[in-house]
Chain A
Amino acid sequence: MTPPPKRGVQALNEALHEIFGRRDDVYLFGEDILDPYGGAFKVTSGLSDAYPDRVITTPISEASLFGVAAGMALRGQRPILEIMFGDFISLGLDQVVNSISKFREMYDDQVTVPMVVRTPMGGRRGYGPTHSQSLEKLLLGIPNICVVAGSECHDLGALLIQAVEDERPVFFIENKLMYGRVLRRPEDGHIAELAVRESDGPYPALTFSGTDFAEASATIVTYGGMLPVVLDAVTELILEHEIFCEVVALSQLLPMELDTVLESVSRTGALVTAEEGTLTGGFGAEIAARVQAAVWSDLRAPVQRVAARDGIIPSARLLEDAMLPSVDDIVAAVSALEGVRS
């Protein structure tokens, strides 16, 4: 029997309850996370009532909270730090760059720092320039951390439990729109009309195909909250342009492992990257560099990147829409690839 449909916030909340029940070394820190409020996005609902000694509401001190969590982790605990908006990770970056990511290697593997930073990223809710960003790319240049961002087609709860069990520091990126959306897991290898494969490993990638993994015109690699936008574009490309694409939705952004992308590109010969963060120095730039170096001879066109414009995310709806990458942007990027129309 198929389980009832579940929204993102519910999957994450159930996973937190499960891991708290399973391990008594798990702690949760964050602002406004206590019941009955249960966190700004309600992901922590019910936890402080169930585990009052291990759910700790904090002052608004992000810069220090990253360090407090690191200290807990150094001494054998499993702290989860909720940062209310992903935009605020900038406050903790000194700890991430100079402490959390360094301790294990610079102390010659005498310690580990098994901590999770959970934080929501993403726009399209009118929150404006400092509450809407997708700052994952700031983390992608930091060695020795793990960055995980599930999509609405991933098993979000399993990803979160895996992150807590991980010996490495993990940034767990949640997308704000995903909290309210119904998750869609593959059934009989399909989601809607698309065939879906899930890779092995702790943080799997999903590959979607409209041709049952026969040849296709292009691969689109994306993650997190951009997946539904990409899937809408793929549907439009099929229905209105008769162009078939594969989509790879990564959940492990760092360390960057691109086997699934390379495999897909071997069938499609072209790559488009799609991310909600700003263009320059981003996720797509790193993937483009790696893919062209690995499979230059398989590519028949330059890698195209779809991303937010390099600027702020305005509050007003139409201005925000113009800033963020859209279905039209993805359709245009795929259509512009050389040889895409047979």
Chain B
Amino acid sequence: MAQLAAFYERMFFIRRFEETLLDLFSLGKLVGTTHTYIGQEANAVGLIDHLDPDRDVIFSNHRCHGHYLAFTDDAFGLLCEVMGKAPGVCGGKGGSQHLCKGNFYSNGVLGSIVPVATGIALAEKKKGTGAVSTVFLGDGTLGEGVTYESLNMASLWQLPVLFVVENNHYAQSTPVELELAGSIAARGAAFGVETAELDTTDVDLIHSAAGQAISRIRETSAPYFLVLNTYRFSPHSKSDDQRDPAEIEERRTRDPLLIAGARLADDERSAIEARCEDRLAEIVEAADAAPAAAPEAA
């Protein structure tokens, strides 16, 4: 029960963080772009609970805020980064898609992160650290050829890579049916990589499956291919959404916050939510007051 409460708190915080970013855009306090994780929170929270930020490595993609928060809990550094403020985790140089802190990295070109994560796994294996290198893909990433080159090498060299495919059923505006042939899970199996597929937004089920995957990698030092079928409620980035509202409404009945929240007592849930709102308000206020990232004086 304590674990579920902790998961709910992390998921709720990610949800409200991302909603806050969209609000800040409306207020003109953010420029550039962002890709929110709203609806997919159970994946990051359930999976990353098994990773050790001091040892394991994550390489994430353009939709990286949920992974970043679950791994580092550094909401202030992320918000400042997205807002172009000097205390941002990359000094405002990276912005929403290009994060780096400790063992966490993200980059904005789909597919390009997959071979880098494979090289990270090779380095960690050679060093004997026992680290797992986790890389987050989406259904869209499966269109990039380097994904398959990397699966081949990770299997050939038996590298500790966890390939996580978060299939949210849309590559920007294009439904998966128009971008992908064949089975997603079969793609991992074709390279001799142990594969599992889940079709749930229940954080407990994701936590359990991810735990098995990561245990297998730690035992065997071999790669694992984990397909998480999911859905994002928010647009691809900010307001670019032409999906059928009825489809989104139907998916909202399986909101990971509803599923986890229903297992908590009302007062406990309310206390968690209030704590998150307070924490977020403080962070927004501090980030808003922080100085803008600016070139160093000559």
| CB-contacts of A72-104 with B (<8 A) | 72-77, 79, 94-95, 98-99, 102-103
Say whether B120 contacts A74, CB under 8 Å. Answer: yes
Chain B residue at smallest Cβ distance from A77: B123
Instruction: Say yes or no for A323: interface residue by CB 8 A criterion.
Output: no
Q: A63-B149, A64-B146 are in contact. Are A71 and B112 (CB under 8 A)?
A: no
Bound Cα distance A53, B127 (Å): 12
**CB nearest to A53 among chain B residues:** B126
Encoded as 1 (CB less than 8 Å from any A CB) or 0, chain B from 144 to 171 comes to 0110011011001100000000000000
B130, CB-defined interface residue at 8 Å: no
Stretch of B9-17, B92-100, B173-181, B232-240 on the interface side: B92-100
B119 contacts A94, C-beta separation under 8 Å: no
Task: Assess the B150–A64 pair: CB atoms within 8 A.
Answer: yes
> What bracket does the count of chain A residues touching chain B fall in?
20 to 34
Shortest distance from the beta carbon of B290 to any chain A beta carbon, whole Å: 15
In the complex formed, the residue of A with least CB distance to B102 is A110
Kindly list chain A residues whose C-beta atoms are within 8 Å of the C-beta of B58.
none
Nearest A residue to B118 via CB reads A68
Whether A77 pairs with B126 at a CB distance below 8 angstroms is yes
* B interface size (C-beta, 8 A): 37
A58 interface hit (Cβ, 8 Å): yes
A99-B119 CB under 8 A given contacts A61-B149, A68-B153: no
Q: Which residues on the B side are within 8 Å of A191 (C-beta)?
A: none
B105 in contact with A67 (CB, 8 Å) = no
The yes or no answer to B124 lying at the interface (CB within 8 A) is yes
Indicate if the CB atoms of A70 and B119 lie closer than 8 Å.
yes
Contact of A66 with B by CB under 8 A: yes
Specify which chain A residues have a CB less than 8 angstroms from the CB of B146 in the assembled complex: 61, 63-64, 67
Q: Could you pull out 30 A-B pairs where Cβ atoms are within 8 angstroms? A: A56-B157, A59-B152, A64-B114, A64-B115, A64-B146, A64-B149, A64-B153, A65-B115, A67-B115, A68-B153, A72-B120, A72-B123, A74-B105, A74-B116, A74-B120, A74-B123, A75-B123, A76-B127, A94-B109, A94-B112, A95-B112, A98-B109, A99-B109, A99-B112, A99-B113, A103-B100, A107-B105, A108-B94, A110-B100, A111-B100
Instruction: List residues of B whose CB falls within 8 A of some A CB.
Output: 57, 89-91, 93-94, 98, 100-101, 105, 107-109, 112-124, 126-127, 133, 145-146, 149-150, 152-153, 156-157
